[in-house]
Amino acid sequence: MKPNIEELRKKYIDNPPEGMTSKDIRHMSEDELLDMDYFLNEDDLFDDEAGVEGFYIF
């Protein structure tokens, strides 16, 4: 299900992430906007690594 790009753009223009401006958001492509939204809302990018205690070479 693809989110409505214009709603997403408005959300970030009204409240841009730290280090960005509304102007930055206005000039982003749809793919850039979706990527940014994905990474800002991802809980833990390394969640697959849960429970791994160390690095082992066998």
- Domain residue spans in the chain? 5-39
**Is the CB of residue 9 less than 8 Å from the CB of residue 37?**
no
- Round to whole Å and give the CA distance between 16 and 9: 10
The pLDDT tens digits of the residues spanning 6-56 come to 999 999 999 999 999 999 999 999 999 999 999 998 866 555 555 556 665
| pLDDT at residue 27 in the model | 96
* pTM greater than 0.85: no
Q: Which helix (H) or strand (E) holds 31?
A: helix 30-41
- Round to whole Å and give the CA distance between 36 and 49: 22
Where residue 56 falls (left for φ over 0; alpha for ψ -120 to 50; beta otherwise) is beta
**Is the CB of residue 34 less than 8 Å from the CB of residue 42?**
no
